[in-house]
């Protein structure tokens, strides 16, 4: 079966979500005459069995093995195997939530705008208290620095956004995802797309819902990876970071500076200002978005705490990558 659109779903232990997601995507696939490629990274929770069972009765669903496990490798592999003859591919995150006409809207937008990539706003939704605090922070400037695809600011050409649809020929022409990036691989690819003259279009006609990390440790690990990925991206392409990316770089030095407070209390001032500022902005974000994101005002200081974890982890990851790179150069 040849299809003009391929819908790619990277998976790794997504048994809780994959069945319902594929049933919803099959409706879209029929309308678009699309193929659904599930690229599994070695699930052990029954995901593979669920997909295989669905594929028996739905020939549009194909299951392939992704030996490198990461999402970027899954997309590259699926495009390599099934991209011939396809005009577009759509990237679907198995743990996200999508409106019923998501894929059809993306294709219509790409055809209307004649662009190489369509990205979407991403609304973060939490369930438990800490997760709701993270969601509130990520949906506001305190946690995103005002990123357009996070705050839903209209539509138009952007430098980067949450990957949704891409032209297969544009993707292939720049070499696909750099699989050596475990984090920030989407922004790295967007840079190469723009350098090659492609337009990345942020649509306001559809969106996706994302469920953030539910623990402080998980959130820290995620943003530590983001910071390291951003540092690697900047070094690879010799990019000039934006102001909203540079501001968090000061956080790790501020925290380390506080250790000198044993000699003078003044070294605590920057840390205190950052903490108080985050709590205040977190309370403001909770008031602005409550009850949209289900954040009770009594728990609103958690929003600031979540933002502080994100800032500190991102800054630590960025500086750790720079230090590691410098150490490697010094030992050569």
Are 92 and 196 in a shared domain? yes
Are 259 and 112 in a shared domain? no
Compute φ and ψ for 238, nearest 5 degrees.
50, 50
Task: Say what the pLDDT of residue 295 is.
Answer: 59
Are 44 and 169 in a shared domain? yes
Query: Which residues, 6+ apart, have CB-to-CB distance to 138 below 8 Å?
Result: 124, 144, 150, 212, 310
137 found inside a domain: no
Angle (nearest 5°) at CA 232 between 324 and 209? 125
Task: Say what the pLDDT of residue 331 is.
Answer: 44
Compute φ and ψ for 122, nearest 5 degrees.
-125, 110
**pLDDT band at residue 2 using 50, 70 and 90 as cut-offs:** very low
Task: Say what the pLDDT of residue 10 is.
Answer: 94
Task: Say what the pLDDT of residue 170 is.
Answer: 96
Task: Say what the pLDDT of residue 294 is.
Answer: 58
**Looking at the 3D structure of the chain, how many domains does it have?**
2
* Region 138-163 average pLDDT: 75
Q: CA 99 to CA 82: how far, in whole Å?
A: 25
**pLDDT band at residue 21 using 50, 70 and 90 as cut-offs:** very high
Between 244 and 286, the higher pLDDT residue: 286
DSSP 175-209: TS--TT-SSSHHHHHHHHHHHTT--EEE-SS--EE
Most confident of 171-175, 274-278, 285-289: 171-175
Task: Say what the pLDDT of residue 270 is.
Answer: 86
Residue 160 has pLDDT above 90, yes or no: no
Task: Say what the pLDDT of residue 117 is.
Answer: 96
138 found inside a domain: no
| pTM of the model as a whole | 0.85
Q: CA 111 to CA 46: how far, in whole Å?
A: 37
Are 172 and 226 in a shared domain? no
Q: CA 52 to CA 64: how far, in whole Å?
A: 10
Are 191 and 295 in a shared domain? no
Are 59 and 186 in a shared domain? yes
Residue 41 has pLDDT above 80, yes or no: yes
Nearest to 222 by CA among 160, 309, 139, 97: 309
| pLDDT above 70 coverage of the chain, percent | 90
Q: CA 140 to CA 147: how far, in whole Å?
A: 9
Q: What digits encode the pLDDT tens for the residues 173-192?
A: 999 999 888 888 898 999 99
Q: What digits encode the pLDDT tens for the residues 190-218?
A: 999 999 999 999 999 999 988 888 899 99
Are 220 and 303 in a shared domain? yes
Task: Say what the pLDDT of residue 332 is.
Answer: 38
| Radius of gyration for the chain, computed over Cα atoms and rounded to the nearest angstrom | 21
Buried b (16+ CB within 10 A) or exposed e, 239-250: eeeeeebeebbe
* Region 274-302 average pLDDT: 77
Nearest to 251 by CA among 319, 205, 187: 319
Compute φ and ψ for 99, nearest 5 degrees.
-70, 165
Are 189 and 232 in a shared domain? no
**pLDDT band at residue 127 using 50, 70 and 90 as cut-offs:** confident
DSSP 196-248: TT--EEE-SS--EEE---SSHHHHHHHHHHHHHHHHHHHHHHT----HHHHGG
- Range(s) of the domain holding residue 291: 216-331
Q: What digits encode the pLDDT tens for the residues 225-236?
A: 989 988 988 888
How does the average pLDDT of the chain come out, rounded? 87
Asked if the peptide bond before residue 209 counts as cis, ω within 30 degrees of 0, the response is no
Are 37 and 77 in a shared domain? yes
């Amino acid at each position: 079966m040849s299809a003009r659109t391929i819908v790619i779903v990277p998976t790794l232990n997504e048994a809780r979500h994959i069945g319902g997601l594929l049933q919803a995507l099959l409706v879209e696939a029929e309308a678009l005459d699309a193929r659904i490629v599930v690229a599994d990274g070695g699930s052990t929770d029954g995901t593979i069995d669920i997909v295989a069972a669905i594929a028996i009765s739905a020939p549009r669903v194909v299951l392939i093995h992704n030996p490198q496990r990461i999402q970027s490798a899954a997309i590259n592999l699926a495009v390599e195997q099934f991209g011939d003859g396809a005009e577009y591919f759509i990237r679907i995150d198995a743990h996200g939530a999508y409106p019923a006409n998501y894929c059809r809207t993306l294709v219509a937008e790409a055809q209307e705008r004649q662009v190489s990539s369509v990205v979407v706003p991403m609304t973060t939704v939490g369930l438990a208290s800490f997760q709701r605090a993270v969601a509130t922070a990520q949906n506001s400037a305190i946690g995103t620095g005002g990123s357009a695809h996070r705050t839903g600011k209209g539509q138009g050409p952007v430098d980067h956004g949450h990957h949704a649809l891409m032209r297969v020929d544009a993707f292939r022409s720049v070499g696909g995802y750099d699989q050596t990036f475990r984090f920030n691989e989407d922004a790295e690819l967007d840079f190469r797309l723009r350098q090659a003259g492609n337009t990345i279009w942020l649509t306001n006609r559809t969106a996706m819902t994302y469920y953030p990390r539910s623990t402080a440790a998980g959130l820290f690990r995620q943003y530590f990876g983001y910071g390291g990925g951003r540092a690697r991206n900047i070094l690879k392409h010799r990019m000039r970071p934006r102001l909203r990316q540079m501001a968090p770089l000061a956080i790790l030095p501020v925290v380390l500076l506080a250790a000198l407070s044993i000699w003078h209390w003044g070294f605590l001032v920057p840390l205190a200002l950052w903490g108080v500022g985050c709590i205040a902005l977190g309370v403001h974000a909770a008031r602005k978005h409550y009850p949209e994101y289900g954040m009770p005002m009594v728990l609103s200081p958690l929003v600031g705490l979540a933002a502080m974890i994100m800032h500190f982890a991102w800054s630590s990851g960025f500086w750790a990558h720079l230090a590691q790179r410098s150490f490697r150069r010094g030992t050569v």
